Chain A
C-alpha cells in the first residue's frame, strides 16, 4: 500500500469516479424524452498496483463515457422507415381522393341513374315540357358532377405535387443539417461527439422518412448518404441539393440530382408515396373517368343524333362532341343549342311524330347497356369499378402502412433496448453510485481517523 496519505488520494479519486457515475445517471434521466438520445454509460477501471510489494491497487479511475448504440438496428430502421412513410403518404393522398368521391350513393352514381331516369320519364311523356326540362336538368347535373369529380381528382394530384415540392425543401434542409453535423463531428474530439452523433442519427432517420437512402458510416464518425440509385445527398460536410424541375407535359415536379432526373429512382419514403399517388394512382382514376365521360357522350349522342326533336326534325347531339378520350371528363357539357331549348331533345325515332318515344326509350335503356370494359360493364358498373379501385388502393396502403409501422415499432423497441433510458435502471445506478460514494466517504473518514491516531502517537 502507498501509505495512509496515498490512501486518501485514492479515496478522493474514487469519490470523484462515483460522482461521475451519478452525473451520467442524471444526464440519462434528464434526456429521457430527448429524441434519438443514446444512453450513456461510464466505464470504470481499477488502477493497477505500483511496483511496491503488498500493494492491492490504487483505486478506481474513469476510463471514459460511452453512448450505447447498435448500428445494426439503426440500419434496419433506416431501411424500414421509408416503406412505412411511403404507404402512409400514399394512404393520405388517396384518402383525399376517396373523400372527393363523396358518398357513393349520392354523387356520380346517383347522377347517372337520375340521368337515365330522366329519359325514362321522357319516354312516358315525349311531348311534356316538364319531362324535357327534367332531362335537361339531369343531363346538366351529370355533366357537372363528372367535371367536378375530375376537378377534385386533379386537385388531389396538385396537392400531392405541392407536398412533393415541400418535401424536397425538407430533404435539402435535413441534408444541410447533416453536412453541418458531419463537419462538426469530423473536427471535434471523438469523446465530445456523442451528442452530435445522436443528433446525426436522428437527422438520418428523418431523411429516411422522405427517401429510401443508403448510408455509409465512416471511421471519423461522419455519415455518407446517397439516394436514387447512388446519387449523393451528403458526403462529408457537403450537401448535394436535390432540385425540382417541372415536367414539360404535366408541369409536375421532377426531382434532380445535379442534371440527372432521379424521380424514377425513388422507390420508397414519403416522396415515393406522393409520387405514386400523383403519377400512377390518380392519373389511372382520371383516365377511367375520362373513358366513362367519353363513352357516355358517344353512346348518348349516337342515339340522340338518330332521333328527332319535338318539332320533328333531326336532333343535334345531346352532349358537345368530344375529340378524344383524354380530358373528356373535364370537357363534358351539354350541347349549347340543346341546353338552350329543351324541345331539341330527341324523344322520337321517327320524323314528324312528336308522340314517338323510341329514342327516349333507347336512351333510358342505355342504363343497362354493357358498353364499357370490352362490352362487359354498364356505366354505373364502370363507375363502381373506379370507386372500388380507389377504395382497394387506399385500403392496401393503409394496411401495408400498418404492417410496416409494426415492423418499425419493433425495430425501435429493439434499438431502445440498447440505447434507450430505463428509469428503473437509472434509479438503480443512482443508488449504486450513491452507496459507493457513501462507502468511499466512510473509508476516507476511517483513514483520516487512523491518521489522527498516528499524529497523536508523539504527544
Chain B
C-alpha cells in the first residue's frame, strides 16, 4: 500500500491524541486518587459506588442516632440512680421513725427528710433532654409531674417513643413516668412518700410499715426500669461497633470500585507518558525522513 504524507500525519496525530488522552486520564487518577470521575468512566462501577455511598450514609445516620441515644439513656440512668438513692434514703428515714423513743422534733426532722426525698425525685423525674421531658411518654412538652403542694398526678401518657439505631433495632428513648412511679399501685410515689412522712411524723407504726412496703415496691419498679436501661446501654457499644464494621466494609467496597490503585495508576501513567513521548517522537522522526533530503 502506498503510504502518503497525509495518512502518515493523520494517523500520527490520531495516535498522539489517543496517547495524550490516556496520559491525561492516568495523570488525573494519580492526582485525584480516584478511578471514577464520570458515570461513563465505568457505569457499573459508578452505580456500585453510589450504592455503597448511600449505604454509608444510612450507617452514618444510625451511628449518629446511636450516639444520641447513648447520651439520652445515660441521663435516664442517672435519673433512675438518683430516684433509687432518694427512695433508699426515704426508707432509711422511715425505718428510723419506727423507734418509740423519738421526740416530736426528731419525728418532724425525719418527715422533712422524707418529703425532701420526694421533692428530689420530682426534680429528677422532670428532667428534660433537648427540650423534651424524658418521663412523659408521648407528652414530651409536658412535665410528668407538676410541683405542689400537693405534687400533681402523672401528666404524661403511656405512649413511649423509640428511635431506630439499626434497620432491625429500635431503642426506647421516652418513658412512662406513671408506670415507673406508680405502676399498678393505688398511689404514686409522691403520695406514698407524703403518707409515709405523715406516718413518721405522727408515730403511726402501721402507716410506716404500709409506707415502707409501698416504697419498697416503687424501689423495685425503678430498679427494674434501670436494669432495662442498663441492658439497652450495654448493647449500644455492640451496635456502634457493628455499624462501624459495616461502614468500613461498605467503604472498602466503594474504594475498591471508585478509588485508584495508586501503584497501578503510577505505573500506568509512566507507561502512558512513555507511549505519548514515543508517539511524538515517531511522528517527528517519520516527518523528517524524505527523499527530498537526498536531492542535491
Contact = CB atoms under 8 A, between A and B. Distances in A.
A82 B174 CA distance: 69
A196 interface: no
A388 B5 contact: no
Contacts of B170: 361
Contacts of A384: 47, 50-51, 54
A117 B57 contact: yes
B44 A388 contact: yes
The range of chain A's interface size is 35 or more
Interface string A425-446: 1011011000000000000000
Contacts of B54: 109, 112-113, 378, 380-381, 384
A416 B10 CA distance: 11
Contacts of B139: 353-355
Contacts, number: 181
Contacts of B131: 125, 127-128
A387 B47 contact: yes
A358 to B, nearest CB: 8
A200 to B, nearest CB: 19
Interface string A21-32: 000000000001
Nearest to B52: A105
A417 B2 contact: yes
A348 B40 contact: no
A98 interface: yes
A425 B2 contact: yes
A330 interface: no
B35 to A, nearest CB: 14
A380 to B, nearest CB: 4
Nearest to A378: B54
A126 interface: yes
A300 interface: no
Interface string B261-296: 000000000000000000000000000001110110
B85 to A, nearest CB: 27
A421 B40 CA distance: 40
Interface stretch (A42-50, A204-212, A244-252, A406-414): A406-414
Contacts of A405: 14
Contact of B39 (A368, A390, A418): A390
B198 interface: no
Given A350-B138, A355-B136, A423 B291 contact: yes
Contacts of B290: 423-424, 427
Interface in A380-398: 380-381, 383-385, 387-388, 390-392, 394-395, 398
A422 B292 CA distance: 11
A367 B51 contact: no
13 contacts: A120-B61, A123-B163, A124-B65, A128-B131, A355-B133, A357-B161, A361-B170, A392-B39, A394-B40, A405-B14, A409-B11, A420-B4, A420-B5
Interface of B: 1-7, 10-11, 14, 38-44, 46-47, 49-51, 53-54, 57-58, 61, 65, 68-69, 130-133, 136-141, 157, 159, 161-164, 167, 170, 173-174, 290-292, 294-295
Given A113-B54, A381-B51, A409-B10, 8 more contacts: A113-B58, A356-B138, A357-B161, A361-B163, A388-B39, A409-B14, A417-B1, A421-B5
For the complex of A and B, the 8 pairs showing the least CB-CB separation, nearest first, are: A391-B39, A355-B140, A420-B4, A391-B43, A427-B291, A353-B138, A113-B57, A394-B40
